[in-house]
Amino acid sequence: MELNAKIYVAGHRGMVGSAVVRRLQKAGYQNIVYRTSKELDLRDTVAVNSFFAEEKPDYVILAAAKVGGIMANNTFRADFLFENLQIQNNVIHASHEQAVKKLLFLGSSCIYPKMAPQPIKEEYLLTGPLEATNEPYALAKIAGLKLCEAYRDQYGSNFISAMPTNLYGPGDNYDLNKSHVLPALLRKFHEAKENNAPEVEVWGTGTPRREFLHVDDLADACLHLMLHYDGKEPVNVGTGEDLTIRELVELVRDTVGYTGNVRFNTDKPDGTPRKLLDVSKLADAGWRYKTGLPEGIRAVYQEAFQPTPVA
């Protein structure tokens, strides 16, 4: 991927897309193309086709998606399925039409079966039922990676797919009705500390295990894949390490400095019991994460809730 190549990053304002742009710029790529959602609605086929015909990008990183936590996924099921299908269908097809040299499609670890053996290998895809609460989003992402495979099979397109684990980092969503578990916990504990609340409620039993990757590490992996991977099979991107939600709660509580009680609301859903990715394929390709979870959480808490005062 030449330093002067035109690279389109779809979803550049999101947590993932903005991290990808930062990583590309750090590596010396300056010819990066992007549009806000107001400037280009990726659900609009005509608009997307016109954009690609005009800009003719050499490379595409598809980080745009409608995303959210358990509540958002389970509440807006039709929206999550329809809008994600529209976005990825339009961008992938337009990339084919304009003979893009290489496209990276970013999926999600939720594509794997709910009860998949652990750690989850890429070949476990479509071997069992999905987690019900985020099934529409997962189905859209499965369709996206299969669409990349189909264009490769039929037309020889160099379209690759990466499946990130749970992400966190700068630009995360802290809306308690839409956010994922880690940012939601940071906000809950921060507000409880600020308000001297005696207790914080946490959804579920605390027993599920989760893996977390800093978004800057994902961006680094994306660049590595664009430079070094051309395979048909999707590639897991994660740390290969996990912890229980209860352990995560303690880590966040200690980071924030909250001293009150924690109550696990077992009437709320846990989601998938465990979701740990097998990252050996990416490790074999020469990549490993750099940001440890404690230091990563400290950094995002500082960035989101304790910004340095302006002198």
Is 109 one of the annotated binding-site residues? yes
187, two tokens: 């906000």
Tell me: is residue 187 an annotated ligand-binding position.
no
Q: Is 108 annotated as a binding residue?
A: yes
Q: List beta partners, residue 33.
A: 8
CA dihedral 33, 35, 36, 42 (to 10 degrees): -120
Active-site amino acid positions:
137
Q: Is 15 annotated as a binding residue?
A: yes
Does the annotation list 157 as a binding residue?
no
C-beta of residue 212 within 8 angstroms of C-beta of residue 167: yes
Q: Is 1 annotated as a binding residue?
A: no
Tokens of 160: 């690759």
The response to whether 164 counts as a known ligand-binding position is yes
From residue 120, give the alpha-carbon distance in Å to each of 61, 63, 113, 273, 277: 24, 22, 9, 13, 5
Residue 183 assigned to a binding site = no
Q: H-helix or E-strand containing 17?
A: helix 15-26
Residue 180 labelled as part of a binding site: yes
> What is the SS3 assignment for 201?
strand
Instruction: For residue 286, give the nearest of 238, 242, 229 by alpha carbon.
Output: 229
17 is in an annotated binding site: yes
- Residues belonging to the binding site for substrate are 188, 203, 210, 270
- Residues belonging to the binding site are 11-17, 106-109, 141, 164-167, 180, 188, 203, 210, 270
- Residues belonging to the binding site for NADP(+) are 11-17, 106-109, 141, 164-167, 180
